[in-house]
Amino acid sequence: MWNGLHMTQGTKGAAKARTTSKPLKKADLPIRVPLIHGETTASYLARTAAANGIEAGQLLKALHQGRLPRATFAPPRPNLEEARLSPEAVARLAVLVERDEDQLRRALPGLHPSKLLAAAGAEVRVTAWSDEPGEGPLKACPLCLEDGAWLVASGHRWRPCACGRRWQCGDDHGYLIDTTPLPEIGRALQQHRAFDHRLGPAGDALVADAHQVTLWWWVSKQFARDLWRQREDELGVGPRLRRRQAAPAVVYPEAVRLAAAMNDWETSRAASPDASARDWLADVADRFKQPGVVDGRESQPLRYWLDLHTPQPARPAGRRMTERRWNLLPGLHHRPAEHGPFQANSCLRWVYGLPLTSVTEVCPYCGANAPTCRWVPSPDCPERPAEDQHP
């Protein structure tokens, strides 16, 4: 069985027996694995090959015109690599697995026309995923989807699975956390969904902001340290799961609670240009029983957030409440293409895992002066030339 990295010995033997120099035909792939929305192309090809007892390289060869490069013939590692196809290779794949091309494109983001190789014939190329945060794929939850599948991250480093019992992360070549011992994470996900349903994508954006703040507190050991350490222990931290890897999950319940408080500030600043940020900080301190949130070091990430979410002189435009709430957000937020938890980005641009109190790399366009690039350069720097901007 293909587990995302290797085949078991039994499957290897079956694959070796089935390997042949004859061209692969659809009759050689009698088992159609289920399509998984958002799956990487390499993951889908690996699952298809494993289910039918053939080597993944043999399937890649069938999608490629001419001699396949030796490096490409090696079995792809879906957590480390993606398989890129040309339009003709997609057509060959559709024939072999007996599915419509449009059906494959809707399920596999890597087969979107913008992602295909610009080649006249059938071509396959295996490329490594970037090491940048949010680029590596997410391991699919085996409780909800087929074990061994990997999903395109689309810029998101982590997220709770829809079942509320697994946490997916693309860091460190991808890993899953079994969060069953912490039912509060499942409850937080339920609250997150309700928040998102009531406020639209603005609600998800506030959770993203709050998650950044709680991760700052985790790194600085300023907030709920004993509670978070207890949760980490319940998740079984040790050689296979480091505390830093568990942190995005263990702070999630407090992030959702903080997002609710942030929503109260959003309501206040939209209603009055005289809204008091200090009064709001005092309210947060009271909710969490953390007096340092008002004037202590714990207030630092919240003050960065308040600098971007200032009181408004006029009500935001929009016919529906969800539109007005989104238009109230600062421009550093970008409207997500899909709905759901952790689809929206945060306006707070520090990167978990990098220093919080210093500039890691200076942006060549704004010199680290723009809010987008205070810690690291950002693709949406306002000083970046328009032709080089990224959404």
pLDDT in tens, 339-383: 889 999 999 999 999 888 777 789 999 988 888 888 888 888 888
What local confidence, expressed as pLDDT, does residue 361 receive? 84
Helix axes 252-271, 321-328, angle to 10 degrees: 100
Helix, strand, or coil here: 160? strand
* Better-predicted residue by pLDDT, 153 or 312: 153
Is 240 within the bounds of a domain? yes
Return the structure tokens found at 387: 């032709």
Distance of alpha carbon 336 from its chain centroid, rounded?
12
Amino acid at 247: A
Domain residues for 24? 9-128
> Which residue, 106, 128, 150, sits at the end of a domain?
128
Task: Check residues 18 and 241 and name the one with the higher pLDDT.
Answer: 241
Of the candidates 299, 12, 329, which has an alpha carbon nearest to the alpha carbon of residue 3? Answer: 12
Q: Which stretches within the chain are classed as H helix?
A: 9-18, 41-51, 56-62, 70-73, 87-97, 101-107, 183-199, 201-220, 225-234, 243-250, 252-271, 277-288, 292-295, 300-308, 321-328
**What is the structure's pLDDT at 10?**
39
For 315-332, what is the mean pLDDT?
Answer: 88
DSSP state letter for 75: P
Quick one: average pLDDT of 18-31? 79
Q: Mark which of 111, 128, 145 sits at the end of a domain.
A: 128
> Is 368 in the same domain as 345?
no
User: How much is the average pLDDT of 119-143?
Assistant: 93
**pTM of the predicted structure, to 2 decimals:** 0.88
Residue 318 and residue 374 in one domain: no
Verify that 243 and 309 share a domain, yes or no. yes
Same-domain check for residues 57 and 84: yes
One-letter amino acid at 44 equals: Y
Does 3 map to a domain?
Answer: no
Q: pLDDT digit string (tens) for 78-102? A: 999 999 999 999 999 999 999 999 9
Q: What is the mean pLDDT of residues 10-32?
A: 66
Mean pLDDT of 26-33: 94
CA distance 121 to 118: 9
Q: What is the pLDDT of residue 187?
A: 97
Q: What is the pLDDT of residues 179-189, one digit of tens each?
A: 999 999 999 99
pLDDT tens track for 299-322: 999 999 999 998 877 777 888 989
Instruction: Provide, rounded to the nearest whole percent, the portion of the chain with pLDDT above 70.
Output: 92
Q: Per-residue confidence at 22, pLDDT binned at 50, 70, 90? A: confident
